[in-house]
Amino acid sequence: MNSCSQGALADRVRLSFDYYLKTLEVNGSAWGDWAGHQEKVRNLLGQVFKVEPSEIAVTTSASAAVSSIASCFDYTQKRNKIVTTENEFPTIGQIWHAQERRGARVLHVPSKPDLTVDVAALIDAIDDETLIVSVTQVCFRNGTLTELEPIIEAAHKKGALVLVDAYQGVGAVPIDLSSLKTDFLVGGVLKYMLGAPGVGFLFARHSTTQNLIPVNTGWFAARDIFAMDIHGYDPAKEARRFESGTPAIPSLYPAAAGLELLLEIGVENIYEYVSPLHDQLREGIEAMGGRVVTPAKKSNHGAMIAVASNNENAHVSALEGEKVITSCRDGNVRISPHFYNNYEDVERVLASLAKHRTFLSK
């Protein structure tokens, strides 16, 4: 029940590691297979998000992707304001604040009492000096889902770009980038996408970001990576220009295997299947006197249930003693079922929570 931290290990994902190891024995060099697997991951991500693979960069993490984006801008210009929220993962806040040394101004819009992003206040904060609006899709601390469309529309009306951090939603919450008009979206394959650490990704909409060239770069971002030119820089025209050096090749194999499984099942099917499990969890937790901090409204409910705890680390340890794996953040125990969980699993979680109900916070 901890897919918000790491997805369960699928058989085909486990076998993909063996396949990678075998490539090390092929003719003393497996660059062709390795590079092919990077392109395979790129193509699979394009299928997941319903966009052209050329708009996808394969990175080593979401942090690497955001850092590459942040390196594109000249913050000495009038339009140097970054508008973001209080619901972001540390990577987002830290990278944008790091740009303050280059002239950026960062504004955090406070969240509402129900922990959701204050969309009206966020929109009100966007002005003609706003360079980019950086917003999470699902908050990693409490599972709140952000209504992105009005934010994107408002930002574009003011001439600002939008970056969506979707790491806590991809693979569990459907995202169609052919209709969601964000300029950038970042994430990774470790969680609901069933992969392994070492592969993140970046979507860069060609029509709105083609003029942006990062200064954080590497040879895999060049137009011709085998030109080996050290006397100049000729970046790729597609999103690949946001990549850097040699990718985390061993991680590409489980990434591809996990994405193939995800596409076979369908993210829309996963979302519809898991939603009733969330309902069952919420009803059971509230019936035993627990408090679910994740909003109940479907438009504000992401891929996890966050339960208030008076001792979150001890709470997680107690559940682990019952062989129920969860995680915690910000005073909450995070429970995140996926398509491989069922009603019996939920009943086991509820029984474990009831056994250790002294940890439940009112």
Which strand ranges, in their side-by-side order, compose the sheet holding 161-165? Answer: 56-59, 200-204, 184-188, 161-165, 130-136, 81-85, 105-109
| Amino acid 298: pLDDT | 86
| Those residues with Cβ within 8 angstroms of residue 355's Cβ, 6 or more apart along the chain or in another chain | 322
Contact 141, 330 (CB under 8 A): yes
| Amino acid 226: pLDDT | 85
Q: Is residue 3 over pLDDT 80?
A: yes
99: nearest Cα among 231, 216, 246, 192:
216
| Amino acid 24: pLDDT | 87
Q: Write out the DSSP string of 37-53.
A: HHHHHHHHHHHHHTS-G
**161-165/184-188 β-pairing:** parallel
| Amino acid 35: pLDDT | 86
Q: Is residue 32 over pLDDT 80?
A: yes
Helix (H) or strand (E) holding 282: helix 267-287
CA 279-176-106 angle, to 5 degrees, is: 90
Q: What is the pLDDT of residues 232-273, one digit of tens each?
A: 999 999 999 999 999 999 999 999 999 999 999 999 999 999
Q: What is the pLDDT of residues 118-136, one digit of tens each?
A: 999 999 999 999 999 999 9
Q: Is residue 357 over pLDDT 90?
A: yes
Mean pLDDT of the chain: 96
Q: 11: exposed, middle or buried (C-beta count within 10 Å: 0-12, 13-18, 19+)? A: exposed
User: Which domains are seen in the chain, by residue range?
Assistant: 11-264 (3.40.640.10), 266-359 (3.90.1150.10)
What are 84's two structure tokens?
């973001």
| Amino acid 203: pLDDT | 98
Q: Which DSSP symbol is given to 230?
A: S
| Amino acid 26: pLDDT | 77
Distances (CA, A) of 153 to 124, 158, 162, 283, 350: 12, 9, 9, 36, 41
| Amino acid 282: pLDDT | 97
Count other C-beta atoms under 10 Å from residue 16's C-beta.
Answer: 24
Q: What is the pLDDT of residues 33-79, one digit of tens each?
A: 888 999 999 999 999 999 999 999 999 999 999 999 999 999 999 99
Contact 10, 195 (CB under 8 A): no
Q: Is residue 27 over pLDDT 90?
A: no
What are 187's two structure tokens?
């994430």
| Length of the chain in terms of residues written | 362
Which strand ranges, in their side-by-side order, compose the sheet holding 305-308? Answer: 305-308, 332-335, 327-329
* Predicted model pTM: 0.96
Q: What is the pLDDT of residues 282-302, one digit of tens each?
A: 999 999 999 999 999 888 888
Q: What is the pLDDT of residues 149-185, one digit of tens each?
A: 999 999 999 999 999 999 999 999 999 999 999 999 9
90: nearest Cα among 4, 200, 165, 147:
165
